[in-house]
Each structure stands twice: as C-alpha cells, then as structure tokens.
C-alpha cells in the first residue's frame, strides 16, 4: 500500500553556511521537522562521499532536503535512487537540450556526456531519524584535476540559474517521493532509474572498502545493490562502493 502525496517542503535560503547537510541536522537536533530544503549560495565546508571536500562556489546549487522519519530503516537506502531520479528530472527540465546526455551513475552521481555534473550525499541521525539529502549541482563552475572528470551547465553551453533549479528540484523530489511511497513503490523507481543508468552492460571497476573488483554492470536488484557479473559468470551483489571506470564489454 503506497502512502499519500508528500507535503510540499519549505525552502530556507542562506547566503553562506559550512554545509547544508550539517545545517539540516543541526536544525533537526533543535527540534525542527521536515520536509525542509536548506539552500546556500555558498558552502565553506561542503562535503561529498567518503569525507571528500565538495567545492562549493557561488553560482552552483548547494541544497539539502531534510526529511523526518522518511521510511522504515530497511528501505531508507533507496532514498539515493529517489533523489537521483529527481535530480535527473530537474536537470533535464532546466536544460532540455542536454536531456539526452544526462545519465545516473551508481550509486549517487549525475553525469552529463560521461562527466560528473552533480552528486548526492545522504546522512541520517536521531530518533525519529532525520534524513539529510544533500545535492550539489554544477551550474557555472566545476573542479579540474579530479579522478572522475567533471563538467557544469555553463561549460556545456547552458545558462542555468541555481535559484530556478531549486524550484524544479523541489517539485521533482516531491513527485518522486510520492511515487516511492516510503518504499512501497520502489519497483517503479528501480525501473525508471535503470532507464537512465550509465554503464549498463559495460565492464566496470568498482572500488570497495579494502579492494577493487571488475565485472559487467548487470543491473540493480530490489534493494538497490549493484549486480556485478564476474569473469567466471557469477553474479555478485555490491551494496556500497564507487564505480570509477567504464568500458565496453567484449
């Protein structure tokens, strides 16, 4: 049984903050409840996955959606795919000419023509649990000299204003959260995500906590795990890792 429509989130816009995720979690500890978007024109200490710094200059989108008790713990990891779809929806609406070049990279990046244009970082804490869904999208700037090549809308020939983009993102997230229905609708989310996935049926290298492994990107399963087809024909589920190389299979 799916839940009803998700309430529209309030939006709080700040000039500068250390991290929109950190601000969302601070507000939750102080008793504020979601849904609430925290948007900053600039982050002083933005962060990505695995503790990496996220460069956050003015002109790009830096935003976090704070949700209070968004789903049972067993399905909470699915939020990354919900957020990815919403991000893809919003980016395609903001720059329709780039829609065909956009793809989702497992588990939580948005690519444009094979280069990273946005990332998602989800953090949670408390009881009831607060989920902070952090999204950084490169509108006018992108980092150079990073392991996985990056880009931004301006570099791709599109002028996308972060203030316009947050409205598109908020509407897309509300729609995708409603579709998801606190996990009851993940089958549809999974199908939609796979239709936008980068690297399906390609050989990939996945960096795990203590090693790397190779294989073919087969699919994601009902829990959102990457299913890797190994050289010996076995199918290995990967719950957490980082894909950093793609190539056509033989």
Q: DSSP secondary-structure letter at 211? A: -
Return the CATH number of 202-248, one of 2.130.10.10, 2.30.30.100, 2.30.31.20, 1.10.540.10: 2.30.30.100
CATH of 10-195, one of 3.30.930.10, 1.10.1740.10, 3.40.50.300, 2.30.42.10: 3.30.930.10
Q: Is 26 exposed, middle or buried (0-12, 13-18, 19+ CB in 10 A)?
A: middle
DSSP designation for 139: S
Q: pLDDT in tens for each of the 250 residues of the chain?
A: 345 566 788 999 999 999 999 999 999 999 999 999 999 998 886 665 555 665 667 789 999 999 999 999 889 999 999 999 999 999 999 999 999 999 999 988 999 999 999 999 999 998 889 999 999 999 999 988 777 899 999 999 999 999 999 999 999 999 999 999 999 999 999 999 999 999 888 888 888 877 888 888 999 998 899 999 988 888 989 888 888 766 644 3
Map residue 112 onto helix, strand or coil.
Answer: strand
Sequence ranges of the chain with CATH classification 2.30.30.100: 202-248
Residues 6+ apart with CB under 8 A from 93: 168, 172
User: Where are the domain boundaries for CATH 3.30.930.10 in the chain?
Assistant: 10-195
d(CA 101, CA 127): 40
Rounded to 5°, angle at Cα 50 from 49 and 52:
75
- pLDDT tens-digit profile of 135-176? 999 999 998 877 789 999 999 999 999 999 999 999 999 999
Q: How many CB atoms lie within 10 A of CB 36?
A: 18
pTM metric for this prediction: 0.91
């Amino acid at each position: 049984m799916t839940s009803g429509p998700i309430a529209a989130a309030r939006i709080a816009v700040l000039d500068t903050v250390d991290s929109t995720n950190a601000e969302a979690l601070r507000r939750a500890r102080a008793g504020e409840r979601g849904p609430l978007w925290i948007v900053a024109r600039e982050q002083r200490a933005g962060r990505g996955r695995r503790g990496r710094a996220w460069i956050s200059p003015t002109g790009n989108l830096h935003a976090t959606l704070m949700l209070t008790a968004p789903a049972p713990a067993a399905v909470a990891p699915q939020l990354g795919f919900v957020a990815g779809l919403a991000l893809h929806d919003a980016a395609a609406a903001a720059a329709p000419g780039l829609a065909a070049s956009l793809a989702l990279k497992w588990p939580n990046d948005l690519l444009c023509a094979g280069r990273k244009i946005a990332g998602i970082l989800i953090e949670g804490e408390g009881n009831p649990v607060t989920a902070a869904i952090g999204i950084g999208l490169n509108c006018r700037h992108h980092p150079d000299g990073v392991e996985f090549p990056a880009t931004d809308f301006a570099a791709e020939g599109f002028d996308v204003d972060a203030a316009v983009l947050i409205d598109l993102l908020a509407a897309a997230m509300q729609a995708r959260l409603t579709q998801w229905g606190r996990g009851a609708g993940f089958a549809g989310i999974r199908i939609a995500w796979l239709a936008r996935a980068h690297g399906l049926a390609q050989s990939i290298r996945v960096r795990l906590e203590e090693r790397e492994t190779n294989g073919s990107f087969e699919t994601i399963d009902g829990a959102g795990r990457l299913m890797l087809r190994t050289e010996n024909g076995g199918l290995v589920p990967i719950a957490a890792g980082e894909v950093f190389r793609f190539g056509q299979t033989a």
